[in-house]
């Protein structure tokens, strides 16, 4: 019985890594005042590039015409805007990603979208 448990643990240690890449794409008119900022977020991809393509597709499926990828991340990501600035963030938690986006934006910003894989 002990041998089976050790074998199971050894197999888990060498298992393929989990899919962990995500991205956020937005269609923002650039002034940050609009509440109508379109976006797409996609997680669970094998690469950041694949996540970016999926986020763009999601943004466009939501009816947005001018989508662009603003952040690719491994764990969590966020996008914030103000009337004059925007910021993106990433990190090991949604809280960390949101804080980075706020700081990059200048502090007086609202989070439009955030999420984790």
CA 79 to chain centre: 8
Single pTM value for the model: 0.79
The predicted-structure confidence for 7-51, as pLDDT tens digits, reads as follows 443 333 444 445 589 999 999 865 555 567 899 999 999 999 999
pLDDT of residue 33: 53
- 86/10 Cα distance (integer angstroms): 46
The predicted-structure confidence for 48-104, as pLDDT tens digits, reads as follows 999 999 999 999 999 999 999 999 999 999 999 998 899 999 999 999 999 999 999
């Amino acid at each position: 019985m002990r041998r089976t448990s050790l074998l199971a643990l050894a197999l888990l240690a060498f298992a393929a890594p989990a899919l962990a890449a995500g991205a956020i794409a937005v269609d923002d008119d650039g002034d940050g005042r609009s509440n109508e900022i379109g976006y797409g977020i996609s997680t669970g991809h094998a690469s950041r590039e694949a996540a970016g393509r999926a986020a763009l597709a999601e943004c466009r499926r939501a009816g947005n015409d001018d989508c662009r990828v603003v952040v690719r991340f491994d764990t969590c990501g966020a996008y914030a805007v103000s009337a004059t600035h925007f910021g993106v963030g990433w990190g090991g938690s949604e809280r960390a990603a949101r804080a980075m986006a706020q700081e990059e934006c200048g502090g007086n910003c609202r989070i439009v979208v955030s999420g984790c894989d």
